[in-house]
Amino acid sequence: MHKHTVANTQLTDRLGRIHTSLRISVTDRCNIRCFYCMPEKDVEFCPRDELLTFEEICRFVRAMLQVGVNKFRITGGEPLVRADLPDLIKQLHQMPGVADLAVTTNGILLPDQAAALRAAGLRRLNISLDTLREETFRKITRREGLDRVLDGIAIAQTCDFEKIRLNAIAIRGLSEHDVVPLGRFAREQNLELRFIEFMPLDADTAWQSENVLTGATLRQMLEAEFGPLEPVSRTDPAQPAIDYRFTDGGGRIGFINPVSSPFCSTCNRLRITAEGQVRNCLFSTAEWDARAMLRQGASDKELIHLVRECVAAKAPAHGIGTGEFVRPQRAMYQIGG
């Protein structure tokens, strides 16, 4: 497609934000129960026939490629519990126009699947690692499995991914003792680490603003241990993280601060849930039903029109910390991480 054609068809909202990134949830199921994402028990999952098929996901992606969306991340729940995920990765990888393809995983199934995912064409991997302590891992996930996550990281490092990044949720009163050990682990393993502020998307609705361990505080803790951090110039102004490098050459670290320093003004993301609902924000209270259109035989033009309506309705900001903030009814596992 010619550049001027793409420019005429981009998904641009009323604030001029151009949407080029799509997060695709392939399941709401997970093999752990992190309290910041899911309830511990009595979880109601989508019936399997309500989930988008791989064919439907690919159909939706092909339509989005026509309007300039070219970066895709597969999420869950835990995406690796979806059967035959490498088959979907292979289909997406082979689509002309896909500029970036990544998966976010808790890492527990990586020992078995890392090689197959890489062989299918997966380029980048984000692995959740909130702690290196088994006791804290159990407290967060309400399950065991830290050793499996660490094995998954080690095996993934042998599979020649272009980039492996560690993601850590930072929670005041819980994470303070993990910040420096995680920083040291990432430096020793030559892995990029990003800390993410705790957001009000927990299924238990226990989030309070005082639970947020801010990116600024985390940076101070790391600098006290490892020395100065210097900012890294952004290659993508829409990326949510503020990245730094250790001045001693010991790698990079980033902070995603949706609560203390929102990045809504440059947000370029859309999401589609496992059952095919399009969302224009992680904190959106409205959804647009792409699954119904896909199953009614809608054309690409009709799918694109639906997404344009979704983008047009995008709010200027999520509003966390303001009187206008309305918490979404869905928890993180139901939206897609």
- Residue 334, class by beta-carbon neighbours within 10 Å (0-12 exposed, 13-18 middle, 19+ buried)? buried
Residue 250: the pLDDT is: 84
- Which residues, at least 6 apart from 8, have a Cβ–Cβ distance to it below 8 Å? none
Q: Where are the domains of the chain?
A: 3-335
| Residue 324 pLDDT level (bands cut at 50, 70, 90) | low
Mean pLDDT to the nearest integer, 325-330: 66
Q: Output 206 or 21, whichever has higher pLDDT.
A: 21
pLDDT confidence band for 261 (50 / 70 / 90): confident
Pick one of 1.10.10.10, 3.20.20.70, 3.40.50.800, 3.40.190.290 as the CATH number of 3-335: 3.20.20.70
Q: How confident is the model at residue 337 (pLDDT cuts 50, 70, 90)?
A: low
- According to the model, what pLDDT value does residue 5 have? 43
| pLDDT value of position 240 | 84
Q: CB under 8 Å to 121, separation ≥6 — which residues?
A: 89, 90, 92, 93, 94, 101
User: Over the stretch 53-69, which tens digit does the pLDDT of each residue have?
Assistant: 999 999 999 999 999 99
202 confidence band (pLDDT: 50, 70, 90): low
Cα–Cα distance, 337 to 327 (Å, whole number) = 16
* pLDDT score, position 3: 42
Average per-residue pLDDT for the chain: 91
pLDDT at 2: 39
Given this model, what pLDDT does residue 325 score?
59
Q: Where are the beta strands (DSSP E) in 45-175?
A: 71-75, 100-105, 124-128, 163-170
Q: Could you report the per-residue pLDDT of 146-162, keeping only the tens digit for each?
A: 999 999 999 999 999 99
Q: What pLDDT does residue 201 have? A: 61
Predicted confidence at residue 207, as pLDDT, reads 64
Task: Find out whether 122 and 94 touch, Cβ atoms under 8 Å.
Answer: no
Q: What is the pLDDT of residue 318?
A: 72
Q: Is the pLDDT of residue 7 over 60?
A: no
Can you read off the two tokens belonging to residue 155?
Answer: 């095996």
Q: In percent, how much of the chain has pLDDT > 70?
A: 92
Is 317 a residue whose pLDDT tops 90? no
Banded model confidence at residue 143, pLDDT cuts 50, 70, 90: very high
Query: How many CA atoms does the CB half-sphere of 161 hold within 13 Å?
Result: 29
pLDDT the model gives residue 251: 85
pLDDT at 243 over 50: yes
pLDDT in tens, 37-51: 888 888 889 999 999
Question: CB–CB of 239/268 below 8 Å?
Answer: no
